[in-house]
Structure 1
Amino acid sequence: MSEPLYKSRTAYYEILEVSPTATQAQIKTAYYKQSFIYHPDKNAGSEEATNRFSNISEAYNVLGNKGLRKKYDRGILSQGDVTGASKPSTKDTKSSSSQPTREARQSSALGIDSKNIFDFDNFIKSHYKSQLLREEELRVRKEEMMRKKEAIKDRELGKMMEMAVGVLVVMAVSILVNLKQGGN
């Protein structure tokens, strides 16, 4: 069995494909890029993509939190820090109990937390709207260009056909003229 990610000093950076000197903005951008590629809704049925997405989420939960990132960089991050990173703070919970529920323990053991279960369409639209619009415009332009190319080919073919018919008519007329002249 391999070493847990939180024990490595570079694993989270490698997962998000950023350097250890990356800014919070660069980490966030890398997270969105990676999560877009490996999101389970986009890769239905792919266990590899699901595992990769879970690792990406874990890496972002640690590197996106300044305190946890400092602990990670110093090599003192614990499993409790990692599992606690995705849970809401006690200020945000209505329950005064500090014990996690059975469901929360099970979902964290599976690498799933309630924050990572969300509407993928909404996520894509909010983070990649301009990119999706550009891709749609590009697709429309390509289709329009293909239609124009086909129209040009059709016109050229029509002109060639007209020329061929014209040449045949000229040949037929010249043959008829030759036959008439030969018959006289």
Structure 2
Amino acid sequence: MRLLIADDHPLFRVGLRAALEREGFEVVGEAGDGQEALNLCLQLLPDGVVLDVRMPQMDGITATRLLREQRYRGLITLLTTFNEPVLIQQAAYAGADAYWSKELPPEALAERLRRLSQGQEPRLRAPELPKLTAREQEVLQWMAQGLSTKEIARNLHISPETVKDHLVRLYEKLEARNRVEALERARSLGLLSV
């Protein structure tokens, strides 16, 4: 299997290349950023590309989307230290086949790449986002600004009891026990506008 590796840390690239070549892969190119990876991938047409999620010039998710728009059909694997649901979702929507931790041992990464190429490893799927009503979304936004239940009720022209009902449903949908957990989960899922 011919691979292209893209990561902005040269030492990581060198180590990954050596590990993958030891496992029988042919590394046909290396890139230090997403733009270079995009150009090299379209030029070399490897069987697969292993991209870092966070890189200068262009991140791995954007490079994935652009590769798919250019009809690149090879495997696209994103490696990262960021296991945030919103990033996994973006990677899935961009067309990535896998989103794995950089902490995988080289042998495990090689095995998963082999299994992915043979259709034996599950492909990346976007995590299901909780479906919030418009009112729950409003309550969440006010809550993120630090407003109390009474202040939210005043701003939305509803009773504090109605706000409490919305909070109960929000906590349930976000699998949270309190405001802090609800806000942390909402942020990680990309449900809060900046």
- Give the TM bin, normalised by the shorter chain: under 0.3
Structure possessing the higher radius of gyration over alpha carbons: 1
Structure number with the bigger relative contact order (C-alpha 8 A, sep ≥ 6) is 1
Higher helix share: 1
